[in-house]
Structure 1
Amino acid sequence: MYYNGVYHEFYQYNPDGAFDPNDSLMNMVWGHSVSTDLINWIGLEPAIEPDTPSDICGCWTGSATILFGEQPVIIYTGLIDRKANQVQNIALPKNRSDPYLREWAKVGNNPVIQHVIPGLNSSHFRDPTTGWIGPDGLWRIAVGAEVNGIGTALLYKSKDFMNWTRIARPLYSNNALNMWECLDFFAVLPGSNNGLDMSSQIPSGAKHVLKTPSKMTIGCGRGSIMVLSMLQNHSLTPNMAGESYGLGVTRQIVIQMILQKAGQESMTIWLDGDGKQLIQWPVEEIESLRINEINHQGLELKKGDLFEIKGIDTLQADVEIDFEPTSIDDAEPFDPSWLFDPRKHCREADASAHGGIGPFGLVILASDNMEEHTAVHFRVYKSQEKYMILMCSDLRRSSLRPGLYTPAYGGFFEFDLENERKISLRTLIDRSAVESFGSGGRICITARVYPVALVDDGTTHMYAFNNGSTTVRVPQLRAWSMKRAQVNVMKGGNVIDA
C-alpha cells in the first residue's frame, strides 16, 4: 500500500518461528515494514495479531485498500478455530496522522463476511483482494474459495466497505484448481505503464488481470496463472488473449514472495502494446544500488564458447546482456505439446544439450571447477508462422548440498526474430536469490540457490556461453556490483539493521 508518501508492506509472519506447519498457522500475524523507496525498509511492530473471536487462531492473508484516497482499510482472513474455518475481517488505522500507521484497530462488526454458501469448503475461503469501484459506484472485492470442489473467485459488493453482499455470479471459476488463493486483481491499459487506480473509474479499453498460484504450486509463493480478459457484467470474460502463464499493473507494484527461506523482490507489471502480453520488470529504484559498472561490446560466441564476466561482485550483481543470432535458419522445429510442460523440456534440452540456435545465456554462481553452477539460457524454435523462445533457469547443478529442491524452471514466449533480432536477458543476483527477466520482461523466473562454494570461499564465477551451432553475437553486455539495501528487522521490540 502507498499512502502519504510511504510504502507499507504487510506480510504473513509467525513471531514464534517456523515450527510445525499446523501449529505455526495458528500464530500468524501481519508483519509490517515501511519504505520511501522500495529498497530500504524499516521493520515495525505487527499490524494485526490474533486476539478476537473472529481471528483467534490466526490472521491470514488479505489486502489493503485506500477509500477515495483518504481512508486506508485492511481486509483479511481470520481463522476462527483449529479446524481452519475462515471468515473475513476489517481493520482501520488508529491514527491516520502517524506517517507509519503503526497501530490498527479491528472494527466491531467483524467478521464482515462469513461462510454461508452452499458447497463452500469453509477451510478454503480466504485472501480477499484489494477493493475496486464498479460502474454502479459500489465497492467490490474477490475472495478465493473452493465451491463444490472447483477453484472460485467469489465476488462481493458493498456501499461502505463494511457491509458486504455476495454477487451470485463469481468473478471467475476454473476446475483446473480446487482452490484459488492469494488472489490479486488489477486493471491494465494496453501500451501504458502508468498506474491505474482501482478505487476510481477505470478508463474504457482497459483489461483486467486475475492472478493466482498455478496447480503445480503449494501455497502462494511459486508460479502463477494470470487470466487476462475483459470485465463484463462484473465477471471476467476471456478475450482472444485467453490465459497468460507466467511466474510471477501500469505502474502497479507487486512484491513477490520467494520460497526456500525469506526473500522478496519488488517489480512492476504492465500490458504490452498489443494487449496480449503482460510485462514484468524490476522497479527502477533497484538501479540506485548499482556500482562498479563493466561494459563489453561486440563479443562473438561460437559453439562451445565460454566468456568469463570479471570485475564485479558475482554474488550481488545486476547483469544486462543482448544476444543476437547470426542466422535464423538453424532454428529447430517447435512442438506445441511442449507448452504443457516447459519445465520438462528445460530438463531434457538443458544448457549442455547442443541445439541449432541455442542454448545460449549465462552461467552464474559457478564454482572454480564448474561442479556447481546455475544456467539461465534461451533456445529458439520455429513454428509455422512465428518463432518461439524457451527460457530456462536450471538449478539442478546449483549445489552439492544434499536434500535441496533444485528444479529446472522454464517458459515459452513468442518473438519476432526476423525484425527484433536481439534477445535480451537481465539477471539480478543477491547471493542465494536469482531473478531473471527475458526479452524485456516477457518472461520472469525466480529461484533460490545454495552453492557450497558461496559458503566455503565466498567466491563464484559468471560466464556468457553458447552451445548452439549458430554463432551468437553479444552487441552489449553491461554488469554492475550491487550495494546492500538497508533492510531492517524486529528483534525484542527494537529495530535493528539486518
Structure 2
Amino acid sequence: MYYNGVYHEFYQYNPDGAFDPNDSLMNMVWGHSVSTDLINWIGLEPAIEPDTPSDICGCWTGSATILFGEQPVIIYTGLIDRKANQVQNIALPKNRSDPYLREWAKVGNNPVIQHVIPGLNSSHFRDPTTGWIGPDGLWRIAVGAEVNGIGTALLYKSKDFMNWTRIARPLYSNNALNMWECLDFFAVLPGSNNGLDMSSQIPSGAKHVLKVSINSCDMYIVGVYDLKRDEFVPDTVQDDNRLWTRIDYGTFYASKSFFDSKHGRRVIWAWSNETDSYSDDIAKGWAGIHSIPRTIWLDGDGKQLIQWPVEEIESLRINEINHQGLELKKGDLFEIKGIDTLQADVEIDFEPTSIDDAEPFDPSWLFDPRKHCREADASAHGGIGPFGLVILASDNMEEHTAVHFRVYKSQEKYMILMCSDLRSLP
C-alpha cells in the first residue's frame, strides 16, 4: 500500500530459517519493508506474528486497505490449528503518526470471519482481497475458497470493516478449478495505463479483472462487475483452466496489485520461487525473491493485461552499452561485453528479414506452453527461430540460461512463443 508518502510491502516470511521441512508454513509472519520509490527498501521488524488463538499456527496472506479517514487496516488469514483450519483476522497500526507504521495491533473480536459455510473445506479458505466500496456504501472483500470441490471467490460485506456478513451468491465460481488462493480483484479501463481506485467512481466502459493463484500459476479473467447482483461476469467463460490467460508464464506466483495514489497507476508484483535445492537455500540463509514491481493495465481491445517495470527502475540504469544494426545469421552468437550479467537490464529489438517461413501454429500448444518450450528448446531449429539471448553463461557455455523466441503462423495472425530455459547443456 501507499500511505502518507511511504510504500509498504508486506510479505510471507519465516523468521526461523530459509527452509524448515516440518513447520515452514506454521511459522509464517508478516514481513514488512518500506520505501519511498519502490526500488530502495528498508527492512523492518515483522508487522504481524502468530501469538493469538486466531492465528497461533501461522499468519498467512491477506491485504491492506485504507479506509475513509485515512485509517490503514490489514485483513489476513490465520491458522488456528495444525490441521490448517483457517479464519480471517484484522490488525490496525498502533501509531499512525509513525511514518513507517512499525507496530500493528490485532483487534479484540478476531477472527472477524470464520468458516461456517456448508461444503466449505476449512483448510482452503484464505487470502482476503483489498476492500472496496459498493454503491450502497458498504465495504466488500472476496476470500478464496473451495466449496463442494469448486473454486470460489466468496463475497463479504461490512459497514465498518470489522463485522462481516457473507453474501449468499459468490463473487464468482468455476468448477474448472478447486482451491483459489491469493485472489486479486480490480478495475481497469481498456487502452489506458491509468490505474483505478476500486472505492472511487469507476468510469463508464471500465472492465474488471479477477486473478487467482493455483498450481504455481497466476491466471486471470477479464469481465464486468454486475453491481446489482454483486457478481463478476466474465467476457468469455473457459471451462478448461489451462486456457485461462496467465499474468506471467515464468516463476511468478501469488501476485498482488494495489492502486498507487501517488502516480495514479496500478502496480503488481509477485513471489518468484527459485529453483535452488533445499541445501542451497539453507547455505545462503534465504529462499525466494520478489519480482520487480510492474505497472499493469488493460490493452485497447479489453482482452489482455499489459505490464511493464515501474518507471523508477530506470534510476538503476548506469554504464549503458549500445549496439545497433547487427546482422545475425543462423548459428551466429554475438557477445555483449562490459556489463554485469548478474544485474543487467536488456532492451532488444529483433527484426526478421522475412516471416514467410513461419511454421503453422498448433492450438494444442496453448494447453501447456511450458511443455512446448521444453520440446522446442533453444537447440531445436525451426522455420523462424530460435533467436534471442543467452544470459548467465559460463565461459565454456556448460551453464547458461537461454531466453529465446519463435514465430508461428496461426489462422488469422502470427503467434510468438517466448521461452526461458533454465536447464544447462549436458
TM-score where L is the length of structure 1: 0.68
- CA-CA distance at 1:160 after TM superposition: 1.1
- Deviations 1:89-147 (CA, angstroms, capped at 9, x unpaired): 11111111110001111111111100000000111111001011122221111101111
CA shift in 2, pair 1:222/1:14, >3 Å? farther
Q: Could you list the per-position Cα deviations for residues 276-302 of structure 1 after superposition, in whole angstroms to 9, with x for gaps in the alignment? A: 111121111111111110111111111
Q: 1:355 to 1:144 in 2, by over 3 A?
A: same
Check the 8 A contact 2:19/2:282 in 1, yes or no: no
Distance 1:288 1:497, change over 3 A: farther
1:25 deviation in Å? 2.2
1:269 is aligned to 296
User: 1:191: Cα distance to partner?
Assistant: 1.2
Query: 1:496 and 1:79, CA in 2 relative to 1: closer, same or farther beyond 3 A?
Result: farther
Alignment deviations for residues 415-454 of structure 1 (CA, whole Å, 9 cap, x no partner):
xxxxxxxxxxxxxxxxxxxxxxxxxxxxxxxxxxxxxxxx
CA separation of 1:122 and 1:141: change in aligned 2, threshold 3 A: same
Q: For the Cα contact (< 8 Å) 2:399–2:424, is it kept in 1? A: no
Answer whether contact 1:250 1:271 (CA < 8 A) is retained: no
Secondary structure in 2 matching 1:273: coil
Q: How many angstroms does 1:174 deviate by?
A: 2.2
Counterparts in 2 of 1:497 and 1:37: CA distance versus 1, 3 Å: farther
Q: How many angstroms does 1:69 deviate by?
A: 6.0
Deviation at 1:382, TM superposition (A): 0.6
Higher percent of residues as strand: 1
Is the Cα–Cα contact under 8 Å of residues 135 and 201 in structure 1 kept in the other structure? no
Note closer, same or farther for the CA distance 1:92–1:222 as it changes in structure 2 (3 Å cut): closer
TM-score normalized by the length of structure 2: 0.79
- C-alpha contact (below 8 Å) 2:48/2:104 kept by paired residues: yes
Asked if structure 2 preserves the Cα contact closer than 8 Å seen for 1:68 and 1:199, the reply is no
Larger RCO: Structure 1 or Structure 2 (Cα < 8 Å, ≥ 6 residues apart)? 1
Residue pair 1:133, 1:201 contacting (<8 A) in 2 also: no
1:254-273 CA distance string (max 9 Å, x none)? xxxxxxxx454455211112
Structure 1 pair 244–149 and aligned structure 2 pair: CA distance change class (3 A) = farther
Percent sequence identity over aligned pairs: 94
Greater shift in the superposed pair: 13-22 or 147-156:
13-22
Counterpart of 1:363 in structure 2 is: 390
Distance 1:326 1:149 in 2: 51
CA distance in 1 between counterparts of 2:385 and 2:297 reads 29
**For 1:336 and 1:64, how far apart are their aligned partners in 2?**
40
Aligned to 1:446: none
* Mapped contact 1:223–1:246 kept (Cα < 8 A): no
Taking a change above 3 Å as real, the CA distance of residues 183 and 339 of structure 1, as seen in their structure-2 partners, is same
Q: Is the 8 A contact 2:77 2:87 kept in 1?
A: yes
Given that 1:191 and 1:271 are in contact with CA atoms closer than 8 Å, whether structure 2 keeps it comes out as: yes
Question: What is the distance in 2 between the residues matched to 1:131 and 1:323?
Answer: 43
> What are the residue-to-residue correspondences of 1:291-310 with 2, within 5 Å?
291-310=318-337
Distance in 2 (alpha carbons) for counterparts of 1:347 and 1:378: 13
Residues 225 and 245, structure 1, Cα contact 8 Å, conserved in 2: no
RMSD value, Cα: 7.1
Structure 1 residue matching 2:365: 3-state secondary structure:
helix
Aligned to 1:147: 147
Q: Is the 8 A contact 1:154 1:171 kept in 2?
A: yes
Superimposed CA distance per residue, residues 322-346 of structure 1 (whole angstroms, 9 cap, x where no aligned partner):
0011112111111111111111111
Residues 188, 250 of structure 1: 8 Å contact kept: no
Shift of 1:19: 4.6
Aligned partners of 1:271 and 1:277 also within 8 Å:
yes
Question: For residues 20 and 265 of structure 1, do their structure 2 counterparts lie closer, same or farther at Cα, with a shift above 3 Å needed?
Answer: closer
Alpha-carbon contact 2:359-2:409 (below 8 Å) kept: yes
CA distance in 2, matches of 1:334, 1:224: 39
**CA 1:16–1:359 in structure 2 vs 1: closer, same or farther (change >3 Å)?**
same
Q: Distance in 2 between matches of 1:151 and 1:246?
A: 35
Contact 1:64 1:75 survives alignment (8 Å):
yes
Q: Residue 167 and residue 26 in structure 1: after superposition, are their counterparts in 2 closer, same or farther (change >3 A)?
A: same
CA contact 2:195–2:264 (8 Å) conserved in 1? no
State the number of aligned residues: 365
Contact kept, 8 Å, 2:399 with 2:425, in 1: the verdict is no
Q: Deviations over 1:157-182 (max 9, x none)?
A: 11111111111111122223210011
State whether residues 87 and 115 of structure 2, in contact with CA within 8 Å, keep that contact through their aligned partners in structure 1. Answer: yes
Q: Give the 3 Å change call, closer, same or farther, for CA 22–125 of structure 1 in structure 2.
A: farther
Counterpart of 1:202? Answer: 202
Q: How far apart in 2 are the matches of 1:353 and 1:247? A: 31
CA contact (8 A) 1:222 1:248 kept: no
Q: Give distance in 1, aligned partners of 2:266 and 2:14.
A: 29
2-structure distance, mates of 1:285, 1:292: 17
Instruction: Please tell me whether the aligned partners of residues 145 and 151 of structure 1 are also in contact (alpha carbons under 8 angstroms).
Output: yes
Q: CA contact under 8 A between 1:270 and 1:280: conserved in structure 2? A: yes
